Amino acid sequence: MKIAKPLFLLISLAVTNVITAQNQERIPEVEKLLGKMTIEEKIGQLNLLTPGGGVATGSVVSKNVESKIKAGNVGGLFGVASPSKMKMAQDLAVKQTRLQIPLLFGSDIIHGYKTTFPIPLGLSASWDMDLIKRTAQIAAKEATADGINWNFSPMVDIARDPRWGRIAEGAGEDAYLGSEIAKAMVTGYQGEDLTDEETMLACVKHFALYGAVEAGRDYNSVDMSRVKMFNQYLPPYKAAIDAGAASVMTSFNDVDGVPATGNKWLLTDLLRDRWNFDGFVVSDYTSLNEMMAHGLGDLQAVSALALKAGLDMDMVGEGFLSTLKKSLDEGKVTEEEITNACRHVLEAKYKLGLFEDPYKYIDESRPEKDILTPENRAVARKAAQRSFVLLKNENNVLPLKKSSNIALIGPLADSRNNMLGTWAPTGEIKNAVTILEGFKNVAPNARIEYAKGSNILNDKELAKNINVFGPRIEISKELPDELLNEALAVAKKSEVIVAVVGEATEMSGEAASRTDISIPDTQKKLIKELVATGKPVVLVLMSGRPLTIPEEFDLPVSILQVWHPGVEAGNAVADVVFGDYNPSGKLTATWPRSIGQIPIYHSMKNTGRPAPDSEEFQKFKSNYLDEKNSPLLPFGYGLSYTTFEYSDLKISKEKIKVNEAVEVSVTLKNTGKFDGEEVVQLYLHDVVRSITPPNRQLKGFKKVFLKKGESKTITITLKPEDLKFYNSSLEFVAEPGTFEVFVGGDSNASLKKSFVLE
Ligand code: NOJ
């Protein structure tokens, strides 16, 4: 169904391009429209509401949405459940308001629309940029088929504290990898042309530094030096903006003591003036109003502050709507500031082509042919396979034979509710494949017997906190010992035990921080008892974050980390367990030995008193009395069913000049018994510079396929900017001196060569 465009909007005046204060070329049609708007109409465009029906992520849901749209008080909606409702809302906007300005329709499509891909932390572990881009393209195609034209993604917050539940939503700890993924996602969502009906606006979030909340507690304060921000935390946001992200969402936290939503340095000096961002900035869910709780004043004061800081659109809180006119009358904000914010919102609508056709995303013929197609599910299966990380393969138990006699045990083995992962509100649980189903699909000749074995956890109060979006933790009527005994009986009849254990989906994600990130006790007990049977045990471990698993890691078990794999969960897990796909994922966030080591990440600094390489405790060195400094599993780590050997590291030049590139090459050989893929990683150490350098930092990678026995020379180019960093004056510079290069299969890579920048 296509609906004719309203005539009002075919504004065809040949207006010469207008140059604003920010020196950016403006869109004549938008300038013309702005000229006709009253101040109330302009303020209305700055208001983003959610009528409910989707998933509310705050305690407030917008009221009287219909009458507000008719009154011209709404710029966009999000969380609208269906295209028919969007059509009704768009009708109100374009048929019943004076200027007939169409609405934006936003949504959180964090890892797929109906075809749910693995959680972003899992996807990042694929280190496969083409695949990640493909998942974003599919998300855009499916979401736009259902009327959505603006996606609150990518979430690019660097996170080095796995207590923080939202580590699940991002790409992990590293600025370089995070930037590559940010680019892949923005270009995937937005494509080449935003007016294309299969693309949508991206919204890079949460700007900024949200991943660094103190103590991993959600919405907490952030305080960080500028050099740390610029070097370690800001690059992925900048990469998304350089890739053309059309919008930015502010974060809940403060930065330098000013909440991001009202932070002029962040939203104007950095984002617009330094990075030349020309899209629009939206607040997070009521984050404008929350500036009152932060201690910045009343609603009128914080709304004025946010507008002046550079916020363009207010999500849900209606602070702009209810106070800006008053602030204008009282001289607390200017008309130009309101106009500017409105301009940014209208320009986004223009870029989407909504002025040409407000209904272009509402096409009833699309959902059926575009959403959850077999092709899309095939990509979800592939993405899940590639996101899994083999942490341990005891006695090379994996892959299993398809004719095995298997005890499939564990609270997540037959748990459809926990396959999609956090932040998948547009996905539908009923479409997800459980692990039990996947095993039966992929290995129909295996003998598979299932037993739950334990609850995910036994604490009813905790389960209640986790089950806010529906039952993720279902505490069985049977007592824990009964569950356990049932599982042991099943285990005893088998030749191999596969135990699917870990976190329920909502044990990570928003407002799901944990102070203890180990496997819950009841599952730990199950694992120990299964191991005590003497049978080989494979743990299929699900989680939305790195876990602390030192005890389980020391047991004679194999461990396949599968995150929350998405709609094709069971099939993909079975593909890997039975060897149809050889695992190739690598961790993108360090796994600590203990919670006390957090924050822990690969690009740590040497300190003036580094601990000895032996990791034996030494007084007056930077170490712990009771724990090693090294993590349980380093960044970049992940095994394969085959083995890879690195040799012959070469650097194209021993000395280079500023702005010259260097080629680094290495020979990679598949020395094992399976074809497989390896992520070749390059780390750099700037030996002497004006601010303390990390011991090593990821600066390049390539994912390569090698047949068994095959060797290849892999070349990675270090570009001039890869040698640069932000110095104390926040200039992006490369300083002369020696650079050490390490290449290998994880961040402990030992092959080393150096070159000198003259
Ligand atoms: C709050 C979350 O922080 C943000 O990521 C999300 O986009 C909004 N809610 C809207 O749902």
3 state SS of 644: strand
Q: Does pLDDT of 247 surpass 50?
A: yes
Considering the domain architecture, whether residues 522 and 646 belong to the same structural domain is answered as no
- C-alpha 119 to ligand 1 mean position (Å): 16
Residues 207 and 159 in one domain: yes
Q: Report yes or no: 154 and 202 within 8 Å, Cβ to Cβ.
A: yes
Query: Residue 597 domain-assigned?
Result: no
pLDDT for the residue 81: 78
476/518 same-domain check: yes
Q: How many domains does the chain have?
A: 3
Report the pLDDT value the prediction gives residue 1, as an integer from 0 to 100. Answer: 37
**Ligand 1 atom with minimal separation from the 152 CA:** 7
Least confident of 55-69, 110-124, 137-151, 273-287: 55-69
725-726 and 676-686 strand pairing = unpaired
Mean pLDDT of the chain: 95
Taking residues 335-356, what's their average pLDDT?
98
Please say whether the beta carbons of 466 and 601 come within 8 A.
no
Nearest CA to ligand 1 atom 7: 152
**Does the predicted model carry a pTM greater than 0.85?**
yes
The CA distances from residue 76 to 102, 498, 584, in Å, are: 8, 48, 41
574 φ/ψ angles, rounded to the nearest 5 degrees: -65, -40
Residue 21 has pLDDT above 60, yes or no: no
- Residue 700, pLDDT score: 98
What gap in Å lies between CA 69 and CA 75, rounded to an integer? 8
Residue 694 lies in domain: 642-757
Known catalytic residue at 284: yes
Distances (CA, A) of 495 to 141, 445, 490, 534: 45, 15, 10, 10
Ligand 1 contact, 343 CB (< 6 A): no
Whether 602 is in a domain gets the answer no
Pocket residue to mutate for ligand 1, from 49, 60, 104, 152, most atoms within 8 A of Cβ: 152
Give the tens place of pLDDT for each residue, 144-159. 999 999 999 999 999 9
Ligand 1, residues 48, 105, 108: which to mutate, most atoms within 8 A of Cβ?
A: 108
Q: Are residues 417 and 479 in the same domain?
A: yes
User: 158 with 100: CB under 8 angstroms?
Assistant: no
Q: 57 alpha carbon to ligand 1 midpoint, in Å?
A: 6
Do 148 and 165 lie in one domain? The reply is yes
Quick one: 355 and 454 in the same domain?
no
Q: How far, in Å, is the centroid of ligand 1 from the Cα of 155?
A: 10
Q: In the structure encoding, which two tokens stand for residue 717, read together?
A: 């180019």
Q: What is the pLDDT of residues 66-89, one digit of tens each?
A: 999 999 999 999 998 788 889 999
Distance CA 408, CA 736 (A): 58
On whether the CB atoms of residues 161 and 172 are closer than 8 A, the answer is: no
Domain shared by 176 and 89, yes or no: yes
Is residue 163 a part of any domain in this protein?
yes
pLDDT of residue 3: 40
Residue 558 is which amino acid?
S
Last residue of a domain, one of 589, 615, 633: 589
Q: Indicate if the pLDDT at residue 4 is higher than 50.
A: no
Last residue of a domain, one of 367, 387, 421: 367
Distances (CA, A) of 717 to 131, 178, 687, 709: 22, 18, 19, 26
192 lies in the same domain as 333: yes
What's 393's domain CATH number?
A: 3.40.50.1700
Q: Do the domain assignments include residue 493?
A: yes
Buried/exposed code over 604-625 (b: 16+ C-beta within 10 A; e: otherwise): beeeeeebeeeeeeeeeeebee
Find the helix or strand (DSSP H, E) in which 375 lies. Answer: helix 374-387
Q: What pLDDT does residue 364 have?
A: 87
Domain boundary among 367, 397, 422: 367
**257 CA to centre of ligand 1 in angstroms:** 22
Claim to verify: residue 72 and residue 100 sit in the same structural domain? yes
- 128, 146, 157, 284: the catalytic one is 284
CB count within 10 Å of CB 702 equals 15
Same domain, residue pair 309 and 457: no
CATH number at residue 684: 2.60.40.10
Residues 359 and 377 reside in one and the same domain: no
**Residue 184, domain CATH:** 3.20.20.300
- Among the atoms of ligand 1, which is closest to the Cα of residue 79? 11
pLDDT digit string, tens, across residues 718-735: 999 999 999 999 999 999
57 pocket-lining for ligand 1 (C-beta < 6 Å): yes
Q: Please report the pLDDT score of residue 23 as a whole number.
A: 53
User: What count of Cα atoms within 13 Å lies in the side-chain half-sphere of residue 198?
Assistant: 16
Residue 58 pLDDT level (bands cut at 50, 70, 90): low
Phi and psi angles of residue 647, each rounded to the nearest 5 degrees, phi first? -155, 170
**285 CB under 6 A from ligand 1?**
yes
Question: 19-33, 306-320, 370-384, 609-623: lowest mean pLDDT where?
Answer: 19-33
56/16: higher pLDDT: 56
Grade residue 59 by pLDDT with cuts at 50, 70 and 90: low
Find all residues with CB under 8 Å of 130, minimum gap 6, and list them.
184
Q: Is residue 268 part of a domain?
A: yes
Least confident of 23-32, 125-134, 238-247: 23-32
205 lines ligand 1 (CB under 6 A): yes
Q: Is residue 158 domain-shared with residue 48, that is, in the same domain?
A: yes
> In the structure, what pLDDT confidence band is assigned to residue 611 with cuts at 50, 70 and 90?
very high
Please state whether beta strands 725-726 and 711-718 pair in parallel, antiparallel, or not at all (unpaired).
Answer: unpaired
pLDDT for res 14: 33
Ligand 1 centre to CA of 60 (Å) is 13
- Nearest residue (by CA) to ligand 1, atom 3, is 284
